[in-house]
Amino acid sequence: MSIVAKDITATDKAKIKPTYLIIGSGSFGFALAKELRELGKDLIIVDKDKEKVETLREEAYEAIVGDASDPNLLDNMNTKNLAGILILSSDVEANKAALANIRTNVSKDVYCVARSPDAINMQEMEAMGADLVVMPPKMVSKSLSRSLERAEALHRGNKLSQWFESIKNKKLAIVTHNNPDPDAIASALALQYIAESFDVESDIVYHGEIGHQENKAFVNLLGIDLYRMGDIDIRSYDKIAMVDCSVPGANNSLPHDIPIGVIIDHHPIGDSEIDAEFIDIRPNVGASATILTKYLQELNIDIDSNLATALLYGIRTDTLDFKRNTDSADLSAASYLYPLSDHDVLEQLERPSMSIETLDVLGEAINNRQVIGSYLLSNVGSIRDRDTLPQAADYLLNLEGISTSIVFGVTEEQIFISGRSNDIRVNLGDVMKRAFGEDAGGGHATAAAAQISLGVFSAAKDRQTLLRLVNEAVVKRFLSAVGVEEAVE
């Protein structure tokens, strides 16, 4: 039986020409109908409830009585003019019947949306030809979660503003992790811009070296002022902020007992105890520069070309051009920064020359590699620039059969270890902590590092003995942490 044919009186012989057809006018269908009408779209609503149809007509909607499961539902409609059909009743079986009818009798070019109560029916409807399957509870939850994220961002922005208001006319040290990379430097620069907007004087402070040729080019081309920890008295500052690191003394040279004002970081903290007046740590985000970009937006602080270039480059390098540890927030921040950036500078940053030491370390890493299953470990011996290690680890990860690469080298006082992994079973950051200690190692699942004091090894009689002992200790600790007891020849 076709209820549609009985209900249409003035247009019995005419064909109805809607742009959008909505089948089912419950709360979900009616809300969408209101939105479409406000957008000036032509539409027609079908519902099996006669009283509801009458109410819709009183509100000037074009509505007809019809059952979603009726195979003759479309008989009096000119479906050639349909831009979209939305099957939104609460009866999933009726929706499936309507979908089957539409995909049999209507052009495949018509965009078809169907409502499903769960993922199982969603998959079935997709297989039946629905272009989009929606689950109202999931849509509501997503919308709510986005609203909560916006509210949380506003709350964080307000709290950071209040903190800066409380330290006006005071001197701030913005401390990065040791041997800072572009993400750390860009994040520190962004926080310096925020401090300046509140009339707070600040310095960016680091310990170690800016050795990687890309990092040197980054600082030089953008003219970023940095101060070495050894050249200043950190306790002379009124307040301390930490960016891209979160624990005093862990991969930075801050005293363990120094009070911290602000911590902004994206690295997982594990079991470490974090203490500061303001803390924002987001391990799901791929770069600290992303977090700082969001603050600049929330606080309506102008981002000039120099800062935009620094932040965009920081995000791109820490996410490996959005191929590693990337969140939608990173993509959103990069999209915002892209038109503001100096692309000539970005091009120069992306093509720095390779230093002789980098080439030497890469050669040592290849020659000294030890392969145990899918793990590759390489001791490159004495190094001057620790930034050569992650470059070597990145390169070695491309070798056939290798899922995790570990490259380590020795300075006069420290053992530096860098790792990369594409094995979904291995969380490299956790492995580094288990192998070399909570305060010595850490990072993300796919990229991590550690640095440990030479300690007892420094008593070795000669350099070769030292390097051999270091090699045995690092390899043994790492393999133990990943559950491999013996090296396989």
pLDDT at 439: 78
Q: What is the CATH superfamily name and number for domain 147-350?
A: inorganic pyrophosphatase (n-terminal core) (3.90.1640.10)
φ/ψ (deg, to 5) at 378: -140, 130
pLDDT at 305: 94
pLDDT at 354: 62
- Residue 315: Cβ within 10 Å count: 30
- Residue 175: Cβ within 10 Å count: 29
41: three-class secondary structure by DSSP: coil
Query: Which residue shows structure tokens 């690295």?
Result: 267
CB–CB of 363/355 below 8 Å? no
- Every domain range in the chain assigned CATH 3.40.50.720: 3-134
In CATH terms, 356-481 corresponds, of 3.90.550.50, 3.40.50.1100, 3.10.310.30, 3.40.1350.10, to 3.10.310.30
**pTM for the whole structure:** 0.60
Query: Looking at residue 354, what DSSP letter applies?
Result: P
| Residue 142 burial by Cβ neighbours in a 10 Å radius (0-12, 13-18, 19+) | exposed
Write the CA distances from 26 to 10, 47, 49, 265, integer angstroms. Answer: 26, 9, 10, 46
- Every domain range in the chain assigned CATH 3.90.1640.10: 147-350
Strand order in the sheet with 227-228: 227-228, 201-206, 171-175, 239-243, 262-265, 278-281
Sign of CA dihedral 193, 194, 198, 200: negative
CA 7 and chain centroid, separation: 54
In tens digits, the chain (489 residues) has pLDDT values of 333 434 444 444 344 445 889 999 888 889 889 988 888 888 889 999 999 999 999 999 988 898 888 888 887 777 777 888 999 998 999 999 999 989 888 878 889 999 999 889 999 999 999 999 998 877 777 777 777 777 888 888 899 999 999 999 899 999 999 889 999 999 999 999 999 999 999 999 999 888 677 777 788 888 889 999 889 999 999 999 999 999 898 888 899 889 999 999 998 887 778 899 999 999 989 999 999 999 999 999 999 999 999 999 999 988 888 878 888 899 999 999 999 999 988 888 876 556 777 888 888 899 889 998 889 999 998 888 888 888 899 889 888 889 999 999 888 888 899 999 888 888 888 899 888 888 788 888 888 888 888 876 766 667 788 888 888 888 998 998 888 865 444
CB–CB of 16/76 below 8 Å? yes
- Residue 444: Cβ within 10 Å count: 19
Q: Which CATH architecture has domain 3-134?
A: 3-Layer(aba) Sandwich (3.40)
- Residue 488: Cβ within 10 Å count: 8
What string of DSSP letters covers 152-179?
HHHHHHHHHHHHHHHTTTSEEEEE--SS
